[in-house]
């Protein structure tokens, strides 16, 4: 049996994942990173993107996250996400409508902060809608 690490993904609404996994890939602020058992400890900001969970040598689950931070230790990876959605359970029509509103917000933004918020929303919606890699 492959070595595992404990993985938790928590959003303000719920604990979405809490189980042992072989590997998890997280969209870190400086780029995607994979957490494996016996990983060197670190903390990273999380950008909008997809968290990919591997079990049995394959992708077991994909969740879109919209910011937050991750802590990795030798035996655990915890992601505290500002917002998270299991991609398989997402209402694609609702996400497409949300994406359209976010794109309008980017075009209408009057300040850099407003534009950044809208662009982050666009990135999150695109992460949910993107086909599996």
Task: Indicate the pLDDT class of residue 55, thresholds 50, 70 and 90.
Answer: very high
pLDDT digits (tens, 9 = 90+) for 69-89: 999 999 999 999 999 999 999
| Tally of domains within the chain | 2
Residue 125 has pLDDT above 60, yes or no: yes
Confidence of residue 133 (pLDDT cuts 50, 70, 90): low
Do both 79 and 94 map to the same domain?
A: no
Same domain? 80 vs 122:
no
Whether residue 39 is found in the same domain as residue 99: no
Same domain, 74 and 111: no
SS3 1: coil
CA distances from 119 to 27, 81, 103, 110 (A): 16, 17, 8, 13
Contacts of 94 (CB under 8 A, 6+ apart): none
Q: Can you tell me the mean pLDDT for 52-64? A: 95
Domain match, 44 and 10 both: yes
**Looking at the structure, do residues 96 and 52 belong to the same domain, yes or no?**
no
């Amino acid at each position: 049996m492959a070595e595992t690490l404990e993985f938790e993904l928590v959003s303000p609404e719920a604990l979405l994942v809490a189980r042992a996994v072989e590997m998890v890939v997280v969209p870190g602020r400086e780029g995607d990173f994979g957490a494996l058992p016996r990983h060197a400890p670190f903390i990273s900001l999380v950008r909008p993107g997809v968290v990919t969970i591997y079990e049995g040598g394959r992708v077991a689950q994909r969740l879109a996250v919209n910011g937050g931070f991750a802590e990795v230790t030798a035996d655990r990876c915890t992601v505290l996400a500002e917002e998270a959605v299991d991609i398989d359970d997402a209402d694609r029509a609702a996400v497409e409508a949300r994406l359209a509103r976010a794109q309008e917000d980017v075009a209408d933004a009057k300040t850099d902060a407003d534009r950044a918020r809208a662009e982050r929303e666009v990135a999150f919606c695109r992460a949910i809608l993107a086909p599996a890699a």
